[in-house]
Structure 1
C-alpha cells in the first residue's frame, strides 16, 4: 500500500518524528513523507510514533487508494491540527480563556485541592508521638508490633484538640487561628489527653471533612462483621450522624493483649519532640492552605448541603492517598533542614530512618495539590482508539441490528445537540446469545463517544475465560491491536496457557486442514503493548503496569479489578480503578451471572460510574426487569451528584437494545418516583415487544421433567440420615440421569458415516462438585447395555490449572458446532473423538450408540462457546436452567421436534433431604433462603410443564407477572414458581426503595443505604455485603519433586519457596481402574503435560509445575480430600 505522512509537529517533537519517519519513508517535503509499506509495517510506524508522542506531536497518515482517491487513516498526537478528512487548516483564530476548557467546569476543584492539601499536612501529625518515633528506630524491639492506638487516630485527636482551643462551633475561628500559625503545643498536649470517645462528632462541618480524610487515609472506619450487624436497622441520614458513631474501636486500636496495650498506651500521648510548630516549612504550608480553605468555605458548606461533598471527598481522599503513596516511595529530600528531630518512615530495604516528618507532610501536601490540579487531565488526557475500520463498516446482513442500534443512538445525539450540556447515558443490551452482542457493544460505545468515532471504555466480565475470549474477539474481529486493547484477568499463567491453546488449535487446524503508603496499586500484569508517553499525569504513577491499566484505550478485565474502586476497605487499591473510571465509559457484560451481595456491590460500582460522569451499559440476554431498574436508579443517583459539581444536565438518555429493535428515550423527570415509573414503563414496553418477537422464533430447546418420585417412595420408610440410605438414593438418582441421557441421545444423535455409529454430545449439569465427581465415577463404572457405550468427562473448578486448560482447549474445539441441518459436526474430525469411535467399532461390535457425556458444575453455564445435542439438568434456579439450556444447539438455527433437555424433578439436595419438609434446597447455588423460600421443591409444580414442552426460553425471567407488585414482593415469604422466586429476590436486593418500616432499605447492607444514606463514610457496606463473598480459598501448587520423581501438593512460604503439604492438607491420591480409564472421554497426565511444556519453554519440569500447577480450593482442615488427574480435587 502507498501511504503519505504529514507532520504538523512543533518544537522537539518535530526532530523525534523525523527520526522515526525517515527510517521508514522517503521525505518528499519538509514535513511530508511517502512510501510503499505493508499493513504490519504501517502498524509498526504508528506504534513508534506513539512511543515518542507528546502534546506537540501531530502526524497524519493517508492511504493512496488510486490516482484520484486517498483515504485518511489516522492521527498520532494532537488531532486538532487536522480536520475529519485529515486536512490541515490554513487559518486559525484564538480565544483568550482565563482557565483551560478542561478545568472551567470543575467548580469544586479549588475546594478539593485545599481539603486534600490541608489534610495531607495533618494526616501523619500523630506520628510525632514518643511511641511511633521509638518504633521507627532501627534497633526497636516493637518495630512489628501494632500501635495501641494508630497514628491517624492520634492525628484526628490533635485536630480536634486544636479546634477545641477556639471554643467555637463554626469553622471560621479554627481556620483563622491556623492561618495565623497560632499553634499552642502545650494546650494541645493537655487537651489530647482528655479526648472524647467520638472525636469526629459535633465538629464544625469543614473540620469534619478534614478529620475524615485524616482518619481514612489508610483505611475506612470499620468493625468486624458480627459487630457491624447491629447497624442493619439504623439510619445514617447525615454526615454528622454517621461520624458521631465512630470510635477508636472502628479499626484504630490494637488491643489483643490488654497488658501490652496498657503498658504502651501512655507513649501514644507523649510528644517529647513537640508538634511541628517549630518547622517553618510545615507552618508556612499550613497557613497557605488554611487560607485557601477559608476562601472556599462557601463551596464546602454548599457541597455538604446538596450532598455533593460525597464526590468532593472521593476526589480529595484519592489525591491525598495517591500523594502519600507517591511521596512515600521517594528518597528523603536532600538538604532538608531538620528542626524537629521527628521522622515519618524508614527505608524498606535498610530499615534506616528516611523522611523527616515535616518533610513528609509538606511533600505529600505538594503532590496532593498537584494531583488535584491534574484531575481534569485524568478525565481527558488518556488516549482513545480511533479510525477502527471494522466498526465503521456496515455489519453483515445477519447482524444489521448492530448498525440500527448505532443509527438510533446517533439520531438521539443529534436531537439533543442544541443543548450543549453533557447528559448521562444508561443502556441495556439484551440481544440473544449468538447475535453478536460483544461486537455490538464496541459499535455502541463508539457511537456514545464524544465525537462518535472513537473508543475508550472498560469491558468488565465475571469470568477469566469470558475476558480472554472477548479480548481475542476484540483483537480478531474488531481489529484492535495491542496498543489499543489491554486484557487483565489477574493471572499471567492463565493468559499464557490460553495463548498456547489458541496457537495449538491453529496448528492442529492447519494440520487437519516501607510504609503502608508504599504498597502496590495493582498486583497483576497487564497485557498491553504500547509505550506510555510521559505526560504530566503519568509521573504520579510509579509503576509501568499502573500506567498501562490507566492508559489502554480499551480495557477488557474481570470485574474484580474494577470492584476495588468501591470495595477497598484499606490501602490504595481503589485509586487506579477510580482513575480509570474517570476517563472511561463502562460496559458490564453477562451481568445477570451475579446474585445477592454481588449484585449490591455492582450497584455501588455503577453509582460511582455515574458520579464520575461516565456512561454505563449492562449487557445480557436475560436481564430481569428489577435488575435493569435498580441499576438505572443507582446510576441516576450518581449522575445527579456529578451534575451538582459540574456543568451537566440531569437528563439521562436511556437505551434498550436487542436484535429486533433499539429504543432511546430521555429520562428527564426531576422527581425520583416519576423517573423510576418512566423507566419502568419504557422497559416493560420494550420487553413486551421482545417477548412477541421471541415467540415467533423457531423453538431450539424443549424440555420435559424426569420423574424422581420412585426414589422417594422407595426410601420413605427408611432412616433418611443413614449413610447406606443416602448412598442408595444417590445411586437411584444417578440411574435416572443415565436413563434420561439415553432417551435424549435416542432422539438427537447423528450417524458417523465411517463407523455407522450413532453419536451424540450431551451435558449433565450438577449443582456442586462432589455429586459431579460422584456421577462421573458412577458412569465410568456402570455396567451398560451391550448396544450402548459412553465416554465421560468431569468438568469443574477444582482442577489443576494446566489440566483444566487442556480440557477446555479440547472442549472448545470439539463443541464448536456450527453445522447446518444435515451437515456432520467438525467434532468427528477431531483425532481423539475419531480414535474413540474407531476403537469402539473394532472392539465392541454390538455397540450402536456412543454418548459423549460432559458432567459439569455451573462453570459450564457461562463463558464457554459450547454446543451440545442434549442436556440433563439438576436444577438450582430458573436462571441456571436457562443458562445451561443456552449450550444446547447453541449455534444451530433449525427448530427441534422432540424435547432435547431433561430437567430432574428434584435436585439432589431435595432427594437427600426429603424427610425435612422445611429444608432449603435451591441454594448454593440458587435464590432460596429462609426469608424467601419455595412452597415445594417438585419441578412439576414450580414450572409451567406444558409451556417448557413447547419451548424453553428466558421469557419468564425477563418479563414480570402482573401480580408481582411491590406490596406483594415486600410481604411474601413463600412462592410456588421458580422464576418468581428470582424476581422477588432481585427486587429485594436492587429495587426496593422503601425507607420506613421493618424492611426499610436504610442500613449499610442495602443498596439504597449506600445510595441515600451516609454509610459510604465507613467500610460497613463492604463488610456486610462484600463482592465475591465465599469461604477463603487456599492456593496450592502441584509441584514436581526431582528426588521422588513425582508431584505433590505444596504451599508457598513467605519467601515464595514451595513446601510439600499434601499430607497436612489431608489430600490422598486415588487412581481409576482400567475399566473406568477406558471410558474416559479425555485422558490427562499432569507430569507428562509438564514435560511437554518444559520442552516448549526450555524450562525445568519443576519450574513449569509451579507456574502452571496452581489449584485453589476452600480448605477445611477437618475434611478429607481426594485427587486424581482425571477427576480433579474433591472433598469426601
Structure 2
C-alpha cells in the first residue's frame, strides 16, 4: 500500500518522530513522508511512534487508495492537530477559560479536597500512642495485634477535641479551634481518657466531623461486624444513622492483649501540637473546610455525600499508599520523636508529622486529578474492523449502531445520560464484535472505544483478548488483558477473614502492591498528571491498567472495587471505572452469591456516571430487572453529585432480530419491567420461526433426591452415564472403514472437584457391550 505520514509534532517530539519515519519512508516535505509499505511494516511504524510519544507528538497516516481517494488510517498522539479526516487546519482561534474543562462540572471538588486534606492530616493521629510507638521501636519485630487499632484511636482524639470545643454540635466550633491553634494537649489527653469507653461516639459528631471521621476510620478497612444480622434490618440514607451502629467492635479491637488498652490512649510524647508544619497545614485546611460547609449540607440532603466520600476515601488511601512507599524526607525539620513507620530493616523511617503532611499533599494532588481521570484518558480510534459493514448473517450489528445514531440525533445529550443495555443475541451471532460496535457508537464522537470487558472464566478471557487483537486489530498499546489467578469464589470467601486483624511488621498497611496478577500490555506514553498517582517503581503496570483503552479481564479484578473491605486492592478498579464503561459478558453464568456482588458493581458504575451492558443469549428477566434497579440507584447519586437535572436513563435491548431504545425515568421500575417483557415476547416469537439447532431433553432425578449423601453422588453419576449411552444411540456416526459407531459429547459440571470425581467414575464404569 502507498501511505503518507504528516507530522504536526512540536519541540523534541519532532526530532524523535523524524528519526522513526526517516527509517521507513522518504521525506517529501519538512513534515511529510510517503512510501510503499506492507501492513506489518505499518504496524511497526505505529508501535515505534507510540513508544516514543509524548504530549507534543501528533502524526497522521493516510492510505492512498486510488487516484481520487485517500483514507485516514490512524493518528498517533494529540488528535486536536487534525480534523476527523486527518486534515490540518489552516487557521485556529482560542478562548481563555476561567477553569480547566475537567473541573467545570465538579462542583463538589473544593469540598472533596478540604475533606481529604483534613482527614489525611489526622488519619494516623492515633499512632502517637505509647503502645504504637513502643511497637515500632521494638528491636525484635513480632506479629502482634493492637487491642485498639490506630485509626479508631485517631477518631477518639478527634472526638475529644470536639468535646473540648465550646459547642459540640456545631462544626464552626471545632474547626475554629484548629484554625486558631489554641487547643491544650493536657486537657485533650484527659478528655480522651474520659471518653475512650463511650459508645456511639461517631454519630454524635457534627456533620462535617462525621464525614472526616468516616474517612479516618475507613482509610485501611471498612467497618465490618462478624454478626451480619444488622444487614437484614438496616438500610438508611442518613450518614448519622449509619455511624450510630458502628463502634469499636466493628473490626477495630481484638480480644487479645486487652491489658494494653490503656496504652492506646496514653500520649507521653505529645499530640503533635509542637509541629509547626503540621499545625500550619491544619489551620489552612480547617479554614477551607469551614468555607465549604454549605456544600456539605447540600450533599447530605441530596445524597451526593456517598459519591463525595467515595472519591475522598480513594484520594486519601492512594495518597497514603504513595508516600508510605517513599523514603523519608531528608529535609524535614523535626521537633518530635514520634515515628509513623519503619523500613524493611525495622529502623525508623518517616516521622509522624512528616508522614501526615506529605500524605495530605499527595492525597490533594490525587483528588485534583480525579476529574482528569474521568475525562482525559486514552480512547482507541481508527479501528478499521468496526468501520466495515458487517458480513452476511451479522447485519444486525450495524442495525443496532444505526438505531443508536438515530436515537442520539432525536434526543440531544443522550450520550451523556446513563445507558443500560441488554444484548441477548443468540450464541454464534457475533455478540463480542457487536458489543465493541455498540460501545463505539456510544462514545462522545461515535468513533472511539474505551471500556472494560469483564468475563467469568480465565480461558475465555484469553480467547477474547486474542479475538480482539485478531478481529479488531487492536495492538498491545490499545488492549490490556488481565488474568486472575483465583476464581471469584476465593475473593468471596476471603471476605470472612478480612475482619480479623493481620498486623504488619513495619507500621504501614498502605505499602502494598495494588495489582498482583499478570497484565499483558505494551508500555507507552501516559499523561503527566498520572505521575502523581503512583511511585515510579510501581507505576508502569498500574498506569497501563488505567490508561489502556480496552481492558479485557476476569470479573474478579473489577469486583474488587466493591468487594474489598480491607487494603488498597479496590483502588485501581475504582480509578479505572471513573473513565470506562463496563460490559459484562455471559452475565448469567454466575451463581446467586456472585450476582449480589455484580449488582453492587453495577451500582458503583452508575454512581460514577458510566454506561453498562450485560450480554448473554440467556439472561433471566429477574436478573436484567435487578441489575437495572441497581444501576439506576447509582445513577441517581451521580446526578446529585454533578447537579444533573436530566436524570432519565437510556435503556436498550438488542438481539439479532432488532433493537429497542427507550428513555426511562429513574425509579419507574414498572415501565422498565414492561419494556423488558415486551422485548422478550418479541424475541420468543422470532425464535419460533428459526430452525431448531439444539433440542433439550430433561432427565428427572427426583427418585434420588432422598438418597443418603454417600449414595447420592453415585446415583447421580449413574444418571449421567445412562444419558450418555442414550445420546450415543441417537446421535452417532458410523465410521466407513471400521464400522464403529462414533459420537462426541460434553458433560458440563460447574464445580471442579465434582467434575473430577464424576470423570473418574465414568472412566472406571462398566458400559454396555455396544459402547
TM interval, short-chain normalised: over 0.9
Q: Where do residues 573-592 of structure 1 align in structure 2 (5 Å cutoff)?
A: 573-592=569-588
Q: RMSD of aligned C-alpha atoms?
A: 2.3
Please report how far the alpha carbon of residue 347 of structure 1 lies from its aligned counterpart in structure 2 after TM superposition.
0.9
Aligned length: 745
Please report how far the alpha carbon of residue 363 of structure 1 lies from its aligned counterpart in structure 2 after TM superposition.
0.3
Aligned twin of 1:1011? none
Alpha-carbon distance in structure 2 between the residues aligned to 1:783 and 1:644: 66
**Alpha carbons of structure 1 residues 534 and 406: separation in structure 2 relative to 1, 3 Å:** closer
Alpha-carbon distance in structure 2 between the residues aligned to 1:204 and 1:722: 57
The answer on 1:277 being equivalent to 2:270 is no
Alpha-carbon distance in structure 2 between the residues aligned to 1:296 and 1:130: 35
SS at match of 1:27: strand
**Alpha carbons of structure 1 residues 293 and 624: separation in structure 2 relative to 1, 3 Å:** same
Match of 1:307 among 279, 294, 303: 303
Unpaired runs of 5+ in structure 1? 494-513, 790-1132
TM-score relative to the length of structure 1 = 0.64
Q: Where do residues 589-628 of structure 1 align in structure 2 (5 Å cutoff)?
A: 589-628=585-624
Contact 1:149–1:253 (Cα < 8 Å) also in 2? yes
SS at match of 2:17: helix
Contact 1:532–1:551 (Cα < 8 Å) also in 2? no
SS at match of 1:458: strand
Q: Deviations over 1:192-248 (max 9, x none)?
A: 001122321211000000011011100111111xx1224422343421111021111
The answer on 1:342 being equivalent to 2:334 is no
Please report how far the alpha carbon of residue 64 of structure 1 lies from its aligned counterpart in structure 2 after TM superposition.
1.8
Contact 2:362–2:532 (Cα < 8 Å) also in 1? no
Match of 1:557 among 553, 558, 569: 553
Alpha-carbon distance in structure 1 between the residues aligned to 2:754 and 2:121: 59
Please report how far the alpha carbon of residue 694 of structure 1 lies from its aligned counterpart in structure 2 after TM superposition.
0.8
**Alpha carbons of structure 1 residues 705 and 678: separation in structure 2 relative to 1, 3 Å:** closer
Aligned twin of 2:464? 470
Match of 2:660 among 660, 663, 677: 663
Q: Deviations over 1:612-663 (max 9, x none)?
A: 1101001111111121111111111111111112254312111000010011
**Alpha carbons of structure 1 residues 579 and 705: separation in structure 2 relative to 1, 3 Å:** closer
Please report how far the alpha carbon of residue 18 of structure 1 lies from its aligned counterpart in structure 2 after TM superposition.
2.4
Aligned twin of 1:413? 408
Alpha-carbon distance in structure 2 between the residues aligned to 1:779 and 1:388: 48
Alpha-carbon distance in structure 2 between the residues aligned to 1:283 and 1:578: 32
Alpha-carbon distance in structure 2 between the residues aligned to 1:271 and 1:731: 66
Instruction: Indicate the larger mover: 63-72 or 766-775.
Output: 766-775
**Alpha carbons of structure 1 residues 780 and 588: separation in structure 2 relative to 1, 3 Å:** closer
**Alpha carbons of structure 1 residues 433 and 37: separation in structure 2 relative to 1, 3 Å:** same
Q: Where do residues 840-879 of structure 1 align in structure 2 (5 Å cutoff)?
A: none
Alpha-carbon distance in structure 2 between the residues aligned to 1:479 and 1:722: 52
Aligned twin of 1:398? 393
Please report how far the alpha carbon of residue 762 of structure 1 lies from its aligned counterpart in structure 2 after TM superposition.
2.2
Alpha-carbon distance in structure 2 between the residues aligned to 1:769 and 1:94: 62
Q: Which structure has the greater CA radius of gyration?
A: 1
Alpha-carbon distance in structure 2 between the residues aligned to 1:288 and 1:771: 62
The answer on 1:332 being equivalent to 2:328 is yes
Aligned twin of 1:751? 734
Aligned twin of 1:682? 675
SS at match of 1:102: helix
SS at match of 2:453: strand
Alpha-carbon distance in structure 1 between the residues aligned to 2:719 and 2:457: 32
SS at match of 2:649: strand
Please report how far the alpha carbon of residue 751 of structure 1 lies from its aligned counterpart in structure 2 after TM superposition.
2.6
The answer on 1:8 being equivalent to 2:2 is no
Aligned twin of 1:882? none
Alpha-carbon distance in structure 2 between the residues aligned to 1:485 and 1:447: 18
The answer on 1:449 being equivalent to 2:443 is yes
**Alpha carbons of structure 1 residues 134 and 733: separation in structure 2 relative to 1, 3 Å:** closer
Q: Where do residues 767-916 of structure 1 align in structure 2 (5 Å cutoff)?
A: 776-777=759-760, 779-786=762-769, 788-789=770-771
Aligned twin of 2:649? 652
**Alpha carbons of structure 1 residues 181 and 397: separation in structure 2 relative to 1, 3 Å:** same
Please report how far the alpha carbon of residue 736 of structure 1 lies from its aligned counterpart in structure 2 after TM superposition.
5.5
Please report how far the alpha carbon of residue 68 of structure 1 lies from its aligned counterpart in structure 2 after TM superposition.
2.8
Q: Deviations over 1:383-442 (max 9, x none)?
A: 11110111110111100011111111111111123x488211110000111111111111
TM-score relative to the length of structure 2 = 0.92
Please report how far the alpha carbon of residue 137 of structure 1 lies from its aligned counterpart in structure 2 after TM superposition.
1.3
Please report how far the alpha carbon of residue 722 of structure 1 lies from its aligned counterpart in structure 2 after TM superposition.
10
Alpha-carbon distance in structure 2 between the residues aligned to 1:768 and 1:642: 39
Instruction: Indicate the larger mover: 350-359 or 452-461.
Output: 350-359
**Alpha carbons of structure 1 residues 32 and 190: separation in structure 2 relative to 1, 3 Å:** same
Please report how far the alpha carbon of residue 737 of structure 1 lies from its aligned counterpart in structure 2 after TM superposition.
4.5
The answer on 1:367 being equivalent to 2:350 is no
The answer on 1:437 being equivalent to 2:431 is yes
Q: Deviations over 1:899-931 (max 9, x none)?
A: xxxxxxxxxxxxxxxxxxxxxxxxxxxxxxxxx
Please report how far the alpha carbon of residue 98 of structure 1 lies from its aligned counterpart in structure 2 after TM superposition.
0.3
Contact 1:179–1:288 (Cα < 8 Å) also in 2? yes
**Alpha carbons of structure 1 residues 106 and 782: separation in structure 2 relative to 1, 3 Å:** closer
Structure showing greater relative contact order (alpha-carbon pairs closer than 8 Å, 6 or more residues apart): 2
Alpha-carbon distance in structure 2 between the residues aligned to 1:555 and 1:32: 34
The answer on 1:206 being equivalent to 2:200 is no
Aligned twin of 1:166? 165
Unpaired runs of 5+ in structure 2? 488-505
Please report how far the alpha carbon of residue 5 of structure 1 lies from its aligned counterpart in structure 2 after TM superposition.
1.5
Contact 2:478–2:549 (Cα < 8 Å) also in 1? yes
Alpha-carbon distance in structure 2 between the residues aligned to 1:488 and 1:438: 17
**Alpha carbons of structure 1 residues 461 and 274: separation in structure 2 relative to 1, 3 Å:** same
Alpha-carbon distance in structure 2 between the residues aligned to 1:65 and 1:291: 64
Aligned twin of 1:109? 109
Contact 2:145–2:254 (Cα < 8 Å) also in 1? yes
Q: Deviations over 1:793-849 (max 9, x none)?
A: xxxxxxxxxxxxxxxxxxxxxxxxxxxxxxxxxxxxxxxxxxxxxxxxxxxxxxxxx
Alpha-carbon distance in structure 1 between the residues aligned to 2:625 and 2:467: 30
